[in-house]
Amino acid sequence: MEGLRGEPTIKPPYPAESGYMGKPTNVNNVETFAAIPVIILKGAKWFSSIGTEKAKGTKVFALAGKINNVGLIEVPMGTTLREVIFEIGGGIRNGKKFKGVQTGGPSGGCLSEKHLDTPIDFDNLISAGSMMGSGAMIVLDEDDCMVSMAKFFLEFTVEESCGKCAPCRIGNKRLHELLGQICEGKGSLDDLDRLKNMSLVIKDTALCGLGQTSPNPVLSMMENYRDEYIAHVTDKKCPAGQCRSLMEYVVNPENCVGCTACARVCPVNAITGERKEIHLINPAICIKCGACMEKCKFDAIFIR
């Protein structure tokens, strides 16, 4: 804003003391400002009558992901996640199973089934390993891989990092790389410990809010979905069937009618088989693009 690179400065001094052009600066997001006129109009008492003891008022969430009703919602503080997702959100799309909900955007954390009945307010979300943050809520279902999701969020941080401090500039890159290794089946149990240590140190040492929260998805997902991480590193399997390197496309001989549609669509000619005979996928050639599965009208191709 002052004609400089948008790097954070060392705090303190906090913006309220010395910020924009050295003057005290009020840094609030639009939502906070939006709340002010209402409070003035209707009085603080009214405002505090909504919500919980510690968090007054309402909160707007952007509900998205694998959910039937997506969009902006405004709920009183203290509403539970279950109410938000299953009542307002209308439940999970296509009747799939609820797996988790990422709150607070890429810096937030992923809450699992066991947090569904937690009333939403600032403190509760933080103690559950997430945060209110941007107010985004992305609902994940059984098809979402929690290693890939963490990697996906890290991609965002790596791009957003300003580069000023070492833990965020380099650390997040390394987190992202290691998650990539795990997705490719090249991780070990040791790596999970490293992942956790790196995440904690980045949080503990980064200069600004971005780096201090960027490892949240990794930490919360590792905590709440540890089995899935272990499956990736010990069995080299991705339970959600998301990680390409850990998937194997196979033809189910019971369903295959030998229509050759898959063989024709395969970009690398990994599928062999005569017309009207059961087809076979050569895993050594297959690049796991999924084109055949999409093409097959008989649900004969599945991921193992």
Partner 1 sequence: MSHIKIELRKEDVDFIKGVCDSFNKDPQELINVLHACQEHFGYLPAEVQEVVSEHLEVPVAKIYGVVTFYSFFTMTPKGKNPISICLGTACYVRGAEKVLDEFKKELGIQVGQTTKDNKFSLSSLRCVGACGLAPVVLVGDKTYGRVAPDDVKNILKEYE
Partner 2 sequence: METIKLTIDNKEIEVPKGTTIYKAAKELGIDIPTLCYMDLHDLNIENKPGGCRICVAEVQGKKNLAPTCSTNCEQGMVVKTHTTRVMNARRTVMEFILSDHPKDCLICAKSGNCDLQDMSHRLGIREIPGAEFAEMSTYRKDTSPSIIRELDKCIMCRRCETMCNDVQTVGALSAVNRGFMSTVAPAFEQNLEYSTCTYCGQCVAVCPTGALTEVNHIPQVLRALADPTKTVVVQTAPAVRAALGEEFGLAPGTLVTGKMTAALRALGFDYVFDTDFAADLTIMEEGTELLDRLSRHLKGDKTAKIPILTSCCPGWVNFFEHYFPDLKDVPSTAKSPQQMFGAIAKSYFAEKIGINRKDMVVVSIMPCLAKKYECQRDEFSVDGNPDVDYSISTRELASFIKQANIDIKTLHDEEFDAPLGESTGAAVIFGATGGVIEAACRTAYELYTGKKLERLEFTELRGMEGVRSAIIDFDGLPLNIGIAHGLGNARKLLDDVRSGKSLFHAIEVMACPGGCIGGGGQPLHHGNSEIIKARATAIYTEDRKKPIRKSHENPFIIKLYNEYLGKPGSEKSHHLLHTHYFDKQKKVIIKK
In the chain, the N- to C-terminal Cα span, in Å, equals 52
* Residue (119 or 290) nearer to ligand SF4, CB: 290
CB of residue 301 vs ligand SF4: minimum separation in angstroms? Answer: 7
Q: Which of positions 89-128 make contact with partner 2 (CB under 8 A)?
A: none
* Residue (89 or 171) nearer to partner 2, CB: 171
- Member of 96, 174, 186, 295 binding partner 1 (CB under 8 A): 295
Residue 243 as a binder of partner 2 (CB under 8 A): the answer is no
Q: Which of positions 144-173 make contact with partner 2 (CB under 8 A)?
A: 158-167, 169-171, 173
Residue 37 as a binder of partner 2 (CB under 8 A): the answer is no
Which residues of the chain form contacts with ligand SF4 (CB under 6 A)? 8, 161-165, 168-169, 206-208, 210-211, 249, 265-266, 268, 270-271, 281, 286-292
Measured distance CA(26)–CA(20) in Å, rounded: 9
Residue pair 147/183 in contact (Cβ under 8 Å)? The answer is yes
CB of residue 165 vs ligand SF4: minimum separation in angstroms? Answer: 3
CA distances from 205 to 9, 29, 156, 175, 246 (A): 15, 25, 19, 15, 34
Residue 299 as a binder of partner 1 (CB under 8 A): the answer is no
Residue pair 252/236 in contact (Cβ under 8 Å)? The answer is no
Residue pair 228/100 in contact (Cβ under 8 Å)? The answer is no
Angle at 31 between CA 76 and CA 138, to 5 degrees: 65
Q: Which does 255 bind (CB under 5 to 8 A by kind): ligand SF4, partner 2, partner 1, none?
A: none
* Residue (82 or 173) nearer to partner 2, CB: 173
Measured distance CA(152)–CA(62) in Å, rounded: 19
Tell how many helices (H) and how many strands (E) occur in the chain: 13, 9
- Member of 46, 69, 287, 297 binding partner 1 (CB under 8 A): 287
The mark string for 204-233 relative to partner 2 (x by CB under 8 A, - otherwise) is xxxx----x---------------------
Cβ count near 241 (within 10 Å): 16
CB of residue 247 vs partner 2: minimum separation in angstroms? Answer: 21
CA distances from 114 to 77, 99, 110, 178 (A): 19, 10, 11, 28
Measured distance CA(196)–CA(187) in Å, rounded: 13
Measured distance CA(136)–CA(139) in Å, rounded: 10
* Residue (189 or 285) nearer to partner 1, CB: 285
Residue 18 as a binder of partner 2 (CB under 8 A): the answer is no
- Member of 45, 127, 267, 284 binding partner 1 (CB under 8 A): 267
Residue 236 as a binder of partner 2 (CB under 8 A): the answer is no
Bridge partners of 249, per DSSP, are: 303
Q: Which residues bind partner 2 (CB under 8 A)?
A: 5, 7, 10, 12, 158-167, 169-171, 173-174, 177-178, 181, 186, 194, 197-198, 201, 203-207, 212
